[in-house]
Amino acid sequence: MEEACVRKSEMDKVGVSVKFGRNETIYSKGDEARYSYKVIEGAVRLSRIFADGRRQIVNFFLPDETFGIELSEEYTSTAEAVGDVLALRCPRLCIAQLTEGHPDIGQKRLAMLSKSLAAAEQHVAMLGHQSAKERVASFFLALEMQRRTEIERTLDLPLSRQDIADYLGLTIETTCRALSELKRQRIIEAPSRRRIVIRDLAGLQAIAEGGA
């Protein structure tokens, strides 16, 4: 634990802060994978765009999470700033060098990849068999698990409805309807565009698990 902090700060040392504006592209699919990043502030979305213009968001990254660690030479997805983003950028090579001296940094990368994989498998499970309402419920539940807001049961999402829809594999309209349905059932409240209050956590869980 203690040592991990030492290592972390070493990693932080080699990185430089970079800023990105709302919707700015951090890197594109196919670019040479020169850097990996750690979110300091804001949110980043990892997505793929298809021939038909539709977009699938593969993952979101919130403060303290790392993204852009690729094993291949090129980035396999596109990363964009959801809102304004502050991030730490580390050259790939530096990481490789650090890894040699301190094999435990390899453990960190492993842990990070492992976490991404678990998230991706969860995502697959969701897209594979859940209804629109269940997806929205699962999504909020997952956010609640790693809530960043101090206020109990309040989610401050920097995401637009379109972002949510693209993550859930739904249209914006369907997402909206599912949201409205949850509001009608008094399971959530939406006091403002980007704020969700969970009024009935158990109810939300029941829905996420196919209880309605």
Partner DNA sequence: CGGCATGTTGAAACGTTTCAACGAGAGTGG
Partner DNA sequence: CCACTCTCGTTGAAACGTTTCAACATGCCG
* Residue matched to tokens 């580390």: 90
Minimum gap (Å) between residue 179 Cβ and DNA: 5
Q: In what order do the strands lie in the sheet with 188-192?
A: 154-156, 195-198, 188-192
Structure tokens, 41: 């502030």
Q: Which stretch binds a copy of itself (CB under 8 A): 2-10, 55-63, 82-90, 143-151?
A: 55-63
Q: Which stretch binds a copy of itself (CB under 8 A): 11-19, 51-59, 79-87, 174-182?
A: 51-59
Minimum gap (Å) between residue 62 Cβ and DNA: 18
User: For residues 130-153, b (16+ Cβ closer than 10 Å) or e, as one string?
Assistant: bebbbbbbbbbbebbeeeeeeeeb
Q: Does 71 bind a copy of itself (CB under 8 A)?
A: yes
Angle at 130 between CA 127 and CA 131, to 5 degrees: 115
Listed in order, strand segments (DSSP E) in 21-153 are: 25-27, 35-41, 44-49, 55-61, 66-67, 78-81, 85-91
Structure tokens, 96: 């490789």
Q: Which stretch binds DNA (CB under 7 A): 41-49, 75-83, 92-100, 125-133?
A: 125-133
Give CA torsion, residues 156, 11, 78, 110, to 10 deg. Answer: -90
Among DNA, a copy of itself, none, residue 100 binds (CB under 5-8 Å by kind):
a copy of itself
Q: Which is nearer to DNA, 45 or 108 (CB)?
A: 45
Contact (Cβ atoms closer than 8 angstroms) between residue 196 and residue 148: no
Which of 99, 174, 185, 205 contacts DNA by CB under 7 A?
174
Which of 59, 154, 160, 185 contacts DNA by CB under 7 A?
160
Q: Which stretch binds DNA (CB under 7 A): 33-41, 100-108, 171-179, 203-211?
A: 171-179
Binding to DNA by CB under 7 A, coded x per residue (else -) over 184-203, reads ------x-xxx---------
Per-residue DSSP letter, 74: B
Which of 19, 32, 209, 212 contacts a copy of itself by CB under 8 A?
209
Structure tokens, 34: 């020169």
Residues that bind DNA (CB under 7 A): 131-133, 160-162, 169-174, 176-177, 179-180, 190, 192-194
Residues that bind a copy of itself (CB under 8 A): 48, 50-52, 54, 56, 58-59, 70-72, 76-77, 99-100, 103, 106-107, 109-111, 113-118, 120-121, 123-125, 127-129, 166, 169, 209-210
